[in-house]
């Protein structure tokens, strides 16, 4: 896999970049590389020699460790200063909230399915909301006979269905993302996932809860991937790998904090978990409006 021509141009290797462009031209058109209409590429080093804040400095060959550290910092420094810093804070904050809410509930889903299964086993003809099922089955300080439910295959089947629907969601998103637009998909997906989280609180039927769980899990996973795609387009080529690393770190931090806060939220009430998660996702939908639109814009 050759380096990106854009990256090679940004570090002054225009000849190598031109060869890659010619190779792509030959593969796409079937014509000879000699007929490639472009003979010379723009010298980006000279073009931006007074604009190091755009690309974060240059990389030199045969450098010492000290030079490598210095040049590495020069490349990273623009991320922590305007105009890139506000963008970095925004995408990381959205990713943090997204991963904190979606993954917390996704991890809780098998336990929810087990609670529904146990409730239906114990109270066959009784209808209750999801939170009422959980509260009625919660341990109480009383000496009562223990009845073990071994008919819990539906718990595993439901978990498999959620995973399969999530895969289908990825395929659907891949088809429509360029037709609809990344920002529109992200905004609508946040609204749908937030609404599903709140709707789960009012659900009383197993099928409805399963459908809402599938939509919530699949749409939430799509949001995470669309966020990464948007982030790539927001930052210059030489800063994208580090920006994605910071974005993923923010997401993983959200997962960690979400799992630590989950018992506290659950102690405040089952409904609080669903309403807070749904509210945060709806808040992400509002924040996604602020994201710059990168559709059909030239890459830096």
Ordered per-residue pLDDT tens for the chain, 300 residues: 677 888 888 778 899 999 999 999 999 999 999 999 998 998 877 765 555 444 445 555 556 778 777 777 777 788 888 889 999 999 999 999 999 999 989 888 888 888 887 777 777 767 777 787 777 655 555 555 555 555 667 788 888 999 899 898 888 888 888 888 889 999 999 999 999 999 998 887 888 889 999 999 999 989 999 999 899 888 887 788 889 999 999 999 999 999 898 888 888 888 888 999 999 999 999 999 999 877 666 555
Identify the H or E element spanning 136.
helix 130-137
Buried b (16+ CB within 10 A) or exposed e, 184-217: bbbbebbbbbbbbbbbbbebeebeebbbbbbbbb
Q: Are residues 276 and 102 in contact, defined by beta-carbon separation less than 8 angstroms?
A: no
Q: In Å, what is the CA distance from 192 to each residue of 79, 169, 214?
A: 32, 13, 12
Predicted structure pTM score: 0.75
Range(s) within the chain of domains with CATH label 1.20.1250.20 = 84-136+155-290
Token readout for 277 is 């998660």
Distance CA 293, CA 208 (A): 36
Superfamily of domain covering 84-136+155-290: MFS general substrate transporter like domains (1.20.1250.20)
């Amino acid at each position: 896999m050759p380096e990106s021509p854009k990256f090679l141009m940004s570090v002054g290797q225009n000849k190598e970049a031109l060869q890659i462009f010619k190779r792509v031209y030959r593969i796409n058109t079937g014509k000879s590389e000699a007929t490639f209409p472009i003979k010379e590429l723009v010298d980006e080093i000279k073009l931006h020699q007074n604009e190091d804040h755009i690309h974060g400095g240059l990389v030199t060959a045969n450098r010492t460790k000290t030079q490598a550290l210095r040049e590495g910092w020069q490349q990273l420094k623009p991320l922590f200063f305007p105009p890139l810093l506000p963008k970095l804070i925004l995408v990381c904050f959205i990713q943090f909230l997204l991963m904190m809410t979606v993954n917390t509930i996704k991890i809780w889903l098998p336990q929810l399915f087990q609670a529904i299964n146990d409730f239906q086993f114990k109270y066959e003809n009784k209808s209750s909301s999801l939170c009422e099922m959980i509260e009625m089955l919660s341990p109480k300080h009383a000496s009562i006979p223990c009845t073990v439910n071994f008919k819990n295959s539906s718990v595993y089947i439901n978990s498999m269905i959620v995973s399969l629907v999530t895969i289908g969601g990825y395929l659907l998103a891949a088809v429509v993302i360029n037709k609809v637009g990344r920002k529109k998909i992200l905004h609508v997906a946040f609204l749908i996932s937030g609404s599903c989280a709140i709707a789960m609180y009012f659900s009383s039927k197993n099928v409805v809860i399963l459908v809402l769980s599938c939509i919530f899990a699949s749409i939430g996973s799509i949001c995470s991937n669309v966020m990464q795609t948007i982030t790539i387009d927001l930052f210059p080529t030489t800063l994208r790998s580090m920006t994605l690393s910071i974005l993923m770190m923010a997401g993983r931090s959200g997962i960690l904090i979400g799992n630590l806060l989950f018992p506290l939220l659950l102690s405040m009430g089952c409904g609080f978990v669903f309403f807070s998660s749904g509210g945060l996702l709806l808040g992400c939908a509002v924040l996604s409006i602020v994201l710059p639109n990168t559709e059909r814009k030239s890459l830096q």
